[in-house]
Amino acid sequence: MPRHLIVGAGQLGPIARDESKARVVERLIALLHDASDQAVELLVFPELALTTFFPRWYVGDATEFDHYFHREMPDGDTQPLFDAAKELRIGFALGFAELAPDDGGTLHRYNTYTLVDRDGTEIGRFRKVHIPGHAGHEPWRQFQHAERHYFEPGPDGFEVWKAFDGIVGMALCNDRRWSETYRVMGLQGAELILIGYNTPLHYYPDPTQNALAGFHNHLVMQSGAYQNGSFIVGVAKGGIEEGVDSLAQSVIIAPSGQIIAQAITTGDEVVSARIDLDFTATYKGMLFDFERYRMPHYYGRIAAVRDDAQPPPREI
């Protein structure tokens, strides 16, 4: 009996620095309705889907940007989104900046994804692990990428959840560039991995990579999908946002690595596909049968042999 699920990539175009949360929520609800017209059951929104990508500016006192953060989810601003999704019976993943107090009351700032079921209940949260860019002001850049000034890495690593009749994992933006991201979830049986991203087309540390932005984006997700036998939904906030041209090209990828749906604009757009989660067994149960073919006891041996490795290049 196939485990069919209709998934959607809910791509966003630019969000202006002073665009109200209410206006952004209206746009997200419009995407929900477009998804409903496509019979979508799970809609994936991008990273930091409620705000402009504010780490492109460096403010000395990071608390000046606390208005971009949310202590509660849903809250007054986002409750209409949760209500609309529940009414349409569409689950969703939403990227947002989270202000989370720990048990001792210390506030932590995370770049967070929340996964919400079709009945509006929260299934789980992922907090971005690989925080790219820089912590200090770097005036040599035309725009900053100061994520390390505003966010700390999530404490929980990469988890998976039983949801939507399958095993679902999440990752955010730079996480998708690291092969471990997919393998850690693959070892937990991930059948569907949801990824949101904000990726400037200009990469100041090495502009020769600018022309490869689209290639690298799909390369890492297609290989992650194939090598772990998982579907992947990769969703952009794209277009020219506050003067920064950002990659769109949201995709839905099969465990074969094939792209089965791709956004064709750089704006608000829903692309969808009906996937069969049982199809993951075609890869997990054969070519990438970890129990039978994977050789973890060799990996430490390789690391030990290569103890003359060169020091890593300077921080980007």
237 is catalytic: no
58 binds ligand ING per the rule CB under 6 A: no
Indicate the residue among 85 and 173 with the shorter CB distance to ligand ING. 173
Indicate the residue among 1 and 211 with the shorter CB distance to ligand ING. 211
174 binds ligand ING per the rule CB under 6 A: yes
19 is catalytic: no
Shortest separation between residue 210's beta carbon and ligand ING, angstroms: 9
Residue 173 contacts residue 187 (beta carbons within 8 Å): no
State the Cα–Cα distance between residues 225 and 236, nearest whole angstrom: 17
229 binds ligand ING per the rule CB under 6 A: no
Q: Using CB under 6 A, which of the segments 75-83, 171-179, 183-191, 231-239 binds ligand ING?
A: 171-179
Amino acid at 296: P
Indicate the residue among 202 and 274 with the shorter CB distance to ligand ING. 202
> Catalytic one among 173, 191, 237, 284?
173
Interface positions, 122-141, toward ligand ING (CB under 6 A): 132
Indicate the residue among 78 and 144 with the shorter CB distance to ligand ING. 144
Q: Which of 173, 235, 244, 252 binds ligand ING (CB under 6 A)?
A: 173
> Catalytic one among 21, 41, 47, 284?
47
State the Cα–Cα distance between residues 239 and 13, nearest whole angstrom: 5
Q: Which of 198, 228, 249, 280 binds ligand ING (CB under 6 A)?
A: 198
Q: Using CB under 6 A, which of the segments 36-44, 155-163, 193-201, 288-296 binds ligand ING?
A: 193-201
Binding mask 94-123 for ligand ING (x = CB under 6 A): ------------------------------
Shortest separation between residue 238's beta carbon and ligand ING, angstroms: 12
Size of residue set near ligand ING by CB under 6 A: 9
Positions touching ligand ING (CB under 6 A) are 132, 173-174, 177, 197-200, 203
Enumerate the active-site residues. 47, 128, 173
